[in-house]
Amino acid sequence: MTRHSATLAINERLQARRAAGEKVLHLGFGEAGLPVLPQVGEVLANAVQRNGYGPVAGSERVRTAAAGYFTRRGLDTDPEQMLLAPGSKALLFGLLAALPGDVVLPRPSWVSYAAQAALVGKNVIGVPVPPEAGGVPDPEQLEARLSDAVARGGRPGVLVVTLPDNPTGTVAAPELVARVCEIAERYGLTVISDEIYRDLRTTEEFRSPAEFLPGQVVITGGLSKNMALGGYRIGFARLPEREHSSRLREELIGVASEVWSSLAAPMQEVAAWVLDEPEEVTAHIAASRRLHSAVSSAVHEVFVQAGAVCRAPQGPFYLYPDLEAFRPTLADRAIGTGHELAEYLLEEHGVGVLAGAEFGDDPAALRMRVATSLLYGDSEAQRWEALRSSDPVSLPWISASLEHLREALDALAKP
């Protein structure tokens, strides 16, 4: 059966605890906890008359804007290559339904890829990520697993990568992406590159797989993270150029037309306005990026100081600490798995995180995903203040959260 997505489930659980008056440090959910840019609200308010279904892929206007977004990023794009949908999650589902073959996933990777593959009856081949960054499989292990799968009569068809990555918060370096693409090409895999955190990365070093394999890479993205519009459900997919993708486009539109019809028409207006990237949008995203980076870096420091091993965050508001060093003291509390650790942190310290096992990682590992994007404040005023602050970490409500976490980790480390 299909379980409630772990990320959405912990969000509901933590929200309910908060509503019941408990003091909870919500590090469980990747919602960009920032307010709506006022001009976005105006665009939506001006689009309320848009009640027609319109084309499944989205209007010409929004597809043109979305194509421009990629063209400005060095990937020439025709509006025909673009599809809009109620969230990139829906498009990822549609792609996994439409593309043939087994699905290769980095481990750990975002919770929904494997669940979606199962929903459409596809096999999953998990490959560990390399030590330096998540979001892509380790090239040597990828090669070994593919050759093994083919030898056994398997049919690997799709590789999903996440650049920048959720859950590790890192960005795979261009040479690593190039190596993975070379292997994908050799095995004839279609690559789905989930780039929903693309605009939030803090490193200049970034190459999309679409730059290496233009004919066989689909990029997905949306406005949930860069513009903090998760509740608007706006996602898009960029297919390869027409000569490589006309059948895939037809299949994807087929699935879309039978599952969700189209992105809500008023939301298409919002998407078109944002994807044209007026100055207000660019400035808002830049401010958001600074805030996400400042807070995730501060939380990273708390984990490292407490004794955890953790890759440094590179834009997405996630950390993926490994508390293996705590194992002896945790064993005294009958904690031997990531799940037990996450439950203990929630029950004993009011700290909500997700165990690495939710992302396909080894259940015995004491790793967890920490989302730092819901620390910016409980009110809209606090969130605007955080967004505008040159030193957000020193704001009292943010520093109090850091202190809450520090105390929890210190207590964990003690025998």
Q: Which of residues 37-66 bind its own copies (CB under 8 A)?
A: 40-42, 44-45, 48-56
Burial of 283 (0-12, 13-18, 19+ CB in 10 A): exposed
Task: Please say whether the beta carbons of 227 and 83 come within 8 A.
Answer: no
Do 181 and 213 form a contact (C-beta atoms < 8 A)? yes
Shortest distance, CB of residue 200 to its own copies, whole angstroms?
Answer: 16
Nearer to its own copies, 184 or 272 (CB): 272
Q: Which of 116, 166, 208, 373 binds its own copies (CB under 8 A)?
A: 116
Asked if residue 1 binds its own copies (CB under 8 A), the reply is yes
Give dist(CA 45, CA 33) in Å, integer: 22
Whichever of 90 and 408 has its CB closer to its own copies, that residue is: 90
Q: How many other C-beta atoms are found inside a 10 Å radius of the C-beta of residue 85?
A: 28
Which parts of 85-104 interact with its own copies (CB under 8 A)?
86-87, 89-90, 93, 97-98
Q: In this chain, which of 10, 25, 31, 321 binds its own copies, going by CB under 8 A? A: 31
* Least distance in angstroms from the C-beta of 308 to its own copies: 28
**Least distance from C-beta 290 to its own copies, angstroms?**
19
Nearer to its own copies, 261 or 305 (CB): 261
Using the rule CB under 8 A, is 229 a contact of its own copies? yes
Site for its own copies contains 250 (CB under 8 A): yes
Q: Is 194 in the site for its own copies (CB under 8 A)?
A: no
CA 308 to CA 271: how far, in whole Å?
40
Least separation in angstroms between residue 310's CB and its own copies is 26
**What are the residues facing 140 on neighbouring strands?**
none
Nearer to its own copies, 62 or 184 (CB): 62
Min dist. Cβ of residue 56 to its own copies (A): 6
Cα separation, 272 vs 281, in Å, equals 12
Residue showing tokens 């829906």: 90
Size (the chain), residues: 415
Half-sphere exposure of 337 (CA within 13 A, CB side): 11
Residues contacting 356, CB < 8 A, separation 6+: 108, 167, 320, 338, 362, 365, 367, 368, 369
DSSP 164: S
The rounded distance, in Å, linking the Cα atoms of 402 and 377 is: 13
Hunting for tokens 């596809």 — which residue is that? 122
Binding its own copies by CB under 8 A: which of 71, 203, 246, 261? 261
Best CA proximity match to 133, nearest among 386, 343, 310: 310
Among 251, 276, 301, 385, binds its own copies (CB under 8 A): 251
Positions 321 through 350 that interact with its own copies (CB under 8 A): none
Token pair belonging to 63: 């597809």
If one asks whether residue 199 binds its own copies (CB under 8 A), the answer comes out as no
Candidates 131, 206, 207, 267: give the one binding its own copies (CB under 8 A): 267
Residues 3-22 contacting its own copies, CB under 8 A: 3-5, 8-9, 11-12, 15
- Interacting span for its own copies (CB under 8 A) from 84-92, 180-188, 298-306, 320-328: 84-92
Q: What is the bridge-based pairing of β-strands 190-194 and 156-162?
A: parallel
| CA distance to 2, 100, 114, 124, 362, per residue, from 121 (Å) | 12, 11, 10, 10, 23
10, 62, 129, 228: which one binds its own copies (CB under 8 A) = 228
Nearer to its own copies, 280 or 301 (CB): 280
Query: Is the CB of residue 236 less than 8 Å from the CB of residue 83?
Result: yes
Mask for 117-156, x = binds its own copies (CB under 8 A): --xxx-----------------------------------
Which 8-state DSSP code applies to residue 205? -
Size of the site for its own copies (CB under 8 A): 64
Least CB distance to its own copies at residue 225 (A): 12
Distance CA 372, CA 299 (A): 7
Query: Is residue 230 near its own copies by the rule CB under 8 A?
Result: yes
Rg of the chain in Å (alpha carbons): 21
Residues interacting with its own copies, by CB under 8 A? 1-5, 8-9, 11-12, 15, 29, 31, 35-36, 40-42, 44-45, 48-56, 86-87, 89-90, 93, 97-98, 112, 115-116, 119-121, 228-233, 250-251, 253-255, 257-267, 380
